[in-house]
Amino acid sequence: MKRIISLLSVILVFFSSCTKDFLEVTPEDRITEDNFWKSEGDTYLALYGVYNTLQSRHVYGYGGGLDAASPNAYQWAHWEGMEMQVGNGTIQPGDAGIVIERWRDCYKGINRANYFLDNVDKVPMPDATKEVMKGEAYFLRGVFYSLLVNTYGGVPIFTKTISVEESRNLERADLETSWAQVHADYDAAIERLDVEAPIKGRATKGAVYGMKMRAYLYQKKWDKVVEYADKITALGIYNLFPSYYGLFQVANENNQEVLFDVQFMSGPFSQGSIFDRYWQPQNLKYGIIGSNSVAPVQNLVDAYETLDGSPVNAAEPYKNRDPRLDFTILRPGAYFQGQLYPVEIKNHTGQKVGFGIRKYTIENMEVIASESPLNFIVLRYADVLLSKAEALIEGQNKNIPEAIALINKIRNGRTDVKLPALSTGLGLEEAREKLHKERRIELALEGLYWDDVRRWEIGPKIYPQQVKGANGELIDTKFANGYDLIRNQLLPIPDGEISLNPKLIQNKGY
């Protein structure tokens, strides 16, 4: 995928119907309806345009920055992506950032997928190749709809290319119908995709199984979660990567733990990720302090246990801790690129809250802003194991011993993470608590905890939450007035969309 995605720098496919000029001349120096959909190459160009939408900031392009909307992290720059406002309960329908950008960019991806599916049959090419490409388009459309439904609730559904006027008359489908569209797209993809992709980075049957499993997880359909987790395992190609630290390194991309990721590449085409621009502290010998617009907070650091279960030593707070802490978080006394944090190497937001992000940063190569080649993992096998464990705990036929065995595999199944095994004799409430904590730690700063907090409906229990500065000072309070299980479970429909289409009904509480 990294080899071929550079085609996107040539052109991204946007077409609109228009009348021909009076000479009815087809331009030869640009792509139009008249000269496109002629060759197999055109189909790849259009398909990669759908894939490219995954890189949009509030689809998956902001990566773990979405954790700022959760108890895990803090976003200092309030104008960045509005995760700060989502995370403290002050987000409004007229705000920019994630409110409008997730809606806009997911529908951009849906439009591109619809356009591809409406036109690909015009091109003479092998049926087998064409069917695989259709499967990818169905899969990606399912991903975009899933993000919309999970973020806003029931949304407008359309599966054909539509005009601007038609788009302004769409009504929101109910939640059940919206999720049904997600699964219909995933099922269409499963029929067409193979276990192996034609090129690394494109969708596979395992990726579809995994995202369908996640959709069922968010719907709390526990039997289906187990069914699809087992389908993934039965493929026999996925497992935990031996090193937790190594899992997030460029040299190990597309490894056996990755089911679905967003591909990035360095170079002159702006197809790199922004992770290093936003997360990585800059080496002070160059006179630059990094942005770190999102930084982990003390509340997350405190959640990492000690290796022997003993209380944290206040005099040496980072000694004898779960090794995932240092693999995920840049904390005082740690080294990055050979320099001591935060003495020799610093970052803006980290200077306020005392910590920086290590996960998804690159320490062993120079990276130009917005050109990091490091892929973002949307779904990995550890998440499959934890999803199945949750379903076994929450489902009708509870199997807590098997669930705990899966959690223990996460805790001691790698060479660089070895934690004491949990007892398989736990009761329901304690097993649930252990599962919640393990997901938080294992998947920290991967952009998933906001979703977890909402679907577990634990907001009223964990908020208000104070965010303390590096010196212990109060710098913010998340949900200072408490968490509302009606208003705060979904984002508002953007005001601008409602002004264009009055048939869109706003979510409750906004």
Positive or negative: CA dihedral 446, 450, 451, 457: positive
Residue 150 and residue 139: Cα distance in Å, rounded?
Answer: 16
Q: Which of 273, 352, 290, 330 is nearest to 445 (CA)?
A: 330
Q: Which domain holds residue 350?
A: 289-361
Residue 370 per-residue DSSP state: T
Positive or negative: CA dihedral 392, 396, 397, 399: positive
Q: With respect to residue 236, please indicate whether it lies within any of the assigned structural domains.
A: no
Q: With respect to residue 347, please indicate whether it lies within any of the assigned structural domains.
A: yes
Positive or negative: CA dihedral 298, 304, 306, 311: positive
pLDDT at 369: 61
Residue 315 and residue 232: Cα distance in Å, rounded?
Answer: 45
**How many separate domains does the chain show?**
1
Q: Which helix (H) or strand (E) is 475 found in, with range?
A: strand 474-478
pLDDT at 440: 98
Q: With respect to residue 309, please indicate whether it lies within any of the assigned structural domains.
A: yes
Q: With respect to residue 372, please indicate whether it lies within any of the assigned structural domains.
A: no
Residue 128 and residue 198: Cα distance in Å, rounded?
Answer: 12
Q: With respect to residue 90, please indicate whether it lies within any of the assigned structural domains.
A: no
With a threshold of 0.85, does the pTM exceed it?
A: yes
CA distances, 484 to each of 95, 97, 462, 509 (Å): 19, 22, 12, 9
Per-residue pLDDT of the chain (510 residues; tens, 9 = 90+): 453 333 233 233 333 333 333 233 334 444 556 679 999 999 999 999 999 999 999 999 999 999 999 999 998 766 667 999 999 999 999 999 999 999 999 999 999 999 999 999 999 999 999 999 999 999 999 999 999 999 999 999 999 999 999 999 999 999 999 999 999 999 999 999 999 999 999 999 999 999 999 999 999 999 999 999 999 999 999 999 999 999 999 999 999 999 999 999 876 666 888 776 677 776 555 544 456 688 999 999 999 999 999 999 999 999 999 999 999 999 999 998 888 988 888 776 667 888 989 999 888 766 666 678 899 999 999 999 999 999 999 999 899 999 999 999 999 999 999 999 999 999 999 999 999 999 999 999 999 999 999 999 999 999 999 999 888 899 999 999 999 999 999 999 999 999 999 999 999 999
| 381-394 vs 205-219: helix crossing angle, rounded to 10 | 30
pLDDT at 275: 76
Contact by Cβ (8 Å): 80, 97:
yes
**Which pair of structure tokens corresponds to residue 421?**
């095994």
pLDDT at 15: 37
Residue 360 and residue 62: Cα distance in Å, rounded?
Answer: 11
Q: Going along 173-285, which residue ranges are E strands?
A: 258-262, 282-283
Residue 310 per-residue DSSP state: P
| φ and ψ of 330, to 5 deg | -90, 110
Contact by Cβ (8 Å): 360, 374:
yes
Separation of CA 247 from chain center = 16
| Three-state SS annotation for 100-135 | HHHHHHHHHHHHHHHHHHHHHHHCCCCHHHHHHHHH
Rama region for 97: left / alpha / beta (φ>0; ψ in -120 to 50; rest): left
Q: Which of 22, 50, 20 is nearest to 35 (CA)?
A: 20
Q: Going along 56-200, which residue ranges are E strands?
A: 73-75
How, if at all, do strands 282-283 and 345-346 pair? antiparallel
**Which pair of structure tokens corresponds to residue 256?**
């056996």
Rama region for 56: left / alpha / beta (φ>0; ψ in -120 to 50; rest): beta
pLDDT at 22: 29
Q: With respect to residue 328, please indicate whether it lies within any of the assigned structural domains.
A: yes
Q: With respect to residue 260, please indicate whether it lies within any of the assigned structural domains.
A: no
Residue 67 and residue 304: Cα distance in Å, rounded?
Answer: 16
Q: Which of 207, 208, 37 is nearest to 125 (CA)?
A: 37
Q: Which of 320, 318, 316 is nearest to 306 (CA)?
A: 320
Residue 5 per-residue DSSP state: G
Residue 9 per-residue DSSP state: G
First to last CA, the chain: 41
Residue 463 and residue 385: Cα distance in Å, rounded?
Answer: 28
Contact by Cβ (8 Å): 304, 325:
yes
Burial label, 461 (beta-carbon count in 10 A; 0-12, 13-18, 19+): exposed
Q: With respect to residue 183, please indicate whether it lies within any of the assigned structural domains.
A: no
